[in-house]
């Protein structure tokens, strides 16, 4: 009987070991136990003596779900739907080693409420600095497997103690996240901010100038994932289409209006509109002759116009009666009311706070120099999270509404410059139709090109593909405009307006490991099995005699 019991115990231990091995094989990653991928670090910059973003880059920690009660010295894995301000602050409070956000490849498949919630948390996280490294990585099969495993591990925390211990010893899989870089993070102050300008000369001498401008850079949680489709790819797309259409009108002497039409694309728009500031200073303070020196009717700034049925005109001071800006706004309202009555138009008056070191809209840079200007945007709040997010991709663009907004701007501008009578309804006189119509395919191509690479300011003068983008914008200007100039602004290294930092694009490694409890469990099983074998060998004679007697008694 003793031998039989020992044999059964040995078989049970061997069976348990086989089950463990089979479980390990079944839970293996689709490829290998270690996986290297590219991760993109959260923004880090100093703007006007204020620090923003994460100051850390090195990560050596075990991956844990955001649902875990204890996150100290752990790398918290989140999806877009998990990333909230509360969980972000909780990870900071518990001194988490890092946060790794998995970015869905299909942004259009994320519910609208989830997108809005993420954008709000994203903007709030960027307001202040943190020592905790924050990384964003596009999700794939390997990373999704890790996410599901750590989520499952977090779910078992609510199970009984026996289930938790058994899972920890037998089935649990842990993941170690590693970003190792011994080089210190260095500040970068030699970025070049490029601004483009071009002109369509009007008929006559000393005629007024209308300026249309938009900033072309993007912003988001991670620079390498900031594509800025709506903000401000939409503004750039509409500006380039306006340049093409008005070039046809200006090229014919019979349809050339008595206005100069100046276009500008400015850099550094997401960082206090530094490119706009330097361009205005060059034109007003350093240039002997400039169209900004002369009679400027108004400056129209385009910002975030690819969605919504609302249009807001942001001004620093209400336009006075019988001024060019007030006349244009009136024309714009008439176009909307007669052709697009479902579109809401509003005037938002916000005074410039001279105590603040930053400005909210691009037009405020012109208003500070007493140049009449306003910003046209679908957003009412300048602090809207929609103005800077890694989720601002092509999925946020409604091409029909962007084209409609472009038509509204073009028709209002034409009615103002050609002094069309108020008695003629915009419905009866439509300038931009037929050969002068907005091209859907061109606008779609422009938007696709603008979002083909991230347009974060710190990348545009460093990477070949990003430099090509700026060169292509200059080529578009030269194709339709005259007197095209490219202004490249370098910062003063001793007193820079903005300081960026390196190590924004890092290799990250994920190691698949088993917890220490599993090693103890496996060692105990092996020791028990060897102990039974050793006992059997040492007492073979005794066991053989017992076995022989048991067989003989059973036979009798």
Q: Which of 174-188, 284-298, 520-534 has the highest mean pLDDT?
A: 174-188
Domain boundaries, the chain: 1-26+529-556, 31-186+504-514, 192-490
Q: What is the structure's pLDDT at 155?
A: 73
Q: What is the structure's pLDDT at 200?
A: 97
10 vs 33, more confident = 33
271 vs 182, more confident = 271
pLDDT over 90, % of the chain: 66
pLDDT in tens, 123-156: 999 988 999 999 999 999 999 999 998 888 777 6
Given CATH 3.40.630.10, say whether it is the number of domain 192-490.
Answer: yes
Give the strands of the sheet with 209-215, arranged side by side.
Answer: 344-349, 310-315, 373-377, 296-302, 209-215, 260-266, 192-200, 482-490
Give the Cβ contact number of residue 374 at 10 Å. Answer: 27
Name the region of 50 (left: φ>0; alpha: ψ -120 to 50; beta: rest): beta
74 vs 165, more confident = 74
Q: Helix count (H) and strand count (E) of the chain? A: 14, 20
CA 430 to chain CA centroid, Å, is: 38
> Per residue in 322-337, is it b (16+ CB within 10 Å) or e — as a string?
eebbebbbebbbbbbe
| DSSP alpha helix (H) spans, 418-485 | 440-450, 464-480
Q: What is the structure's pLDDT at 526?
A: 81
Mean pLDDT estimate for the chain: 87
pLDDT band with cut points at 50, 70 and 90 for residue 3: very low
Q: What is the structure's pLDDT at 522?
A: 67
Q: 380 CB contacts (<8 Å, ≥6 apart)?
A: 310, 312, 346, 348
Strand spans (E) along 385-502 = 482-490, 498-501
Question: What average pLDDT does range 36-59 have in this prediction?
Answer: 92
Asked whether the predicted pLDDT for residue 64 surpasses 70, the reply is: yes
Q: What is the structure's pLDDT at 205?
A: 85
pLDDT band with cut points at 50, 70 and 90 for residue 204: confident
């Amino acid at each position: 009987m003793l031998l039989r019991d020992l044999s059964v115990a040995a078989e049970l231990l061997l069976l348990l070991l086989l089950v463990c091995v089979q479980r390990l094989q079944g839970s293996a990653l689709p490829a290998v136990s270690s996986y290297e991928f590219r991760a993109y670090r959260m923004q880090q910059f100093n703007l006007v003596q204020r620090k923003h973003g994460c100051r850390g880059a090195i990560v050596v920690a075990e991956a844990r779900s955001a649902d875990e009660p204890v996150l100290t010295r752990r790398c918290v894995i989140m999806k877009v739907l998990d990333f909230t301000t509360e969980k972000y602050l909780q990870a900071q409070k518990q001194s988490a080693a890092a946060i790794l956000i998995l970015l869905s490849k299909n942004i259009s498949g994320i519910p609208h409420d989830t997108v809005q919630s993420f954008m709000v948390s994203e903007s709030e996280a960027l307001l202040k600095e943190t020592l905790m490294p924050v990384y964003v990585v596009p999700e794939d099969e390997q990373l999704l497997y890790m996410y599901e495993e750590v989520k499952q591990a977090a779910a078992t925390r609510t199970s009984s103690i026996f289930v938790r211990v058994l899972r920890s010893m037998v089935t649990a899989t842990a993941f170690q996240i590693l970003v190792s870089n011994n080089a210190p993070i260095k500040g970068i102050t030699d970025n070049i901010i490029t601004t483009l300008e071009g002109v369509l000369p009007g008929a006559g001498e000393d005629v007024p100038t209308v300026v249309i401008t938009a900033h072309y850079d993007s912003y988001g949680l991670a620079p390498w994932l900031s594509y800025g489709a709506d903000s401000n790819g939409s503004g750039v797309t509409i500006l380039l289409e306006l340049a093409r259409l008005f070039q046809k009108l200006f090229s014919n002497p019979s349809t050339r209006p008595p206005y100069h039409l100046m276009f500008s694309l400015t850099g550094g728009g997401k960082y206090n509109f530094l490119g706009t500031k330097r361009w205005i200073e060059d034109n007003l303070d350093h240039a002997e002759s400039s169209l900004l020196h002369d009679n400027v009717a108004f400056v129209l700034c385009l910002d975030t116009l690819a969605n919504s049925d609302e249009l807001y005109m942001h001004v620093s001071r209400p336009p006075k009666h019988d001024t060019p800006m007030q006349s244009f706004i009136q024309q714009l309202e008439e176009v909307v009311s007669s052709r697009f009555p479902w579109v809401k138009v509003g005037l938002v008056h916000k005074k410039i706070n001279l105590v603040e070191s930053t400005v909210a809209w691009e037009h405020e840079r012109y208003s500070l120099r007493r140049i009449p200007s306003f910003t046209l945007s679908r957003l009412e709040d300048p602090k809207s999270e929609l103005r800077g997010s890694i989720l601002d991709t092509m999925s946020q663009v409604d091409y029909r509404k962007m084209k409609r907004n472009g038509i509204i701007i073009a028709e209002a501008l034409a009615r103002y410059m050609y002094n069309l009578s108020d008695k003629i309804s915009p419905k009866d006189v439509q300038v931009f139709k037929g050969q002068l119509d907005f091209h859907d395919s061109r606008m779609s191509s422009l938007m696709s090109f603008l979002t083909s690479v991230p347009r974060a300011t710190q990348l545009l003068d460093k990477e070949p593909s990003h430099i090509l983008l700026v060169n292509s914008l200059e080529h578009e200007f030269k194709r339709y405009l005259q007197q095209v100039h490219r202004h490249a602004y370098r910062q003063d290294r001793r007193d820079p307006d903005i300081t960026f930092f390196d190590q924004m694009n890092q290799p990250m490694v994920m190691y698949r490991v088993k917890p220490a409890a599993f090693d103890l469990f496996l060692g105990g099983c092996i020791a028990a099995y060897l102990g039974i074998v050793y006992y059997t060998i040492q007492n073979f004679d005794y066991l053989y005699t017992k076995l022989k007697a048991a067989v003989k008694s059973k036979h009798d």
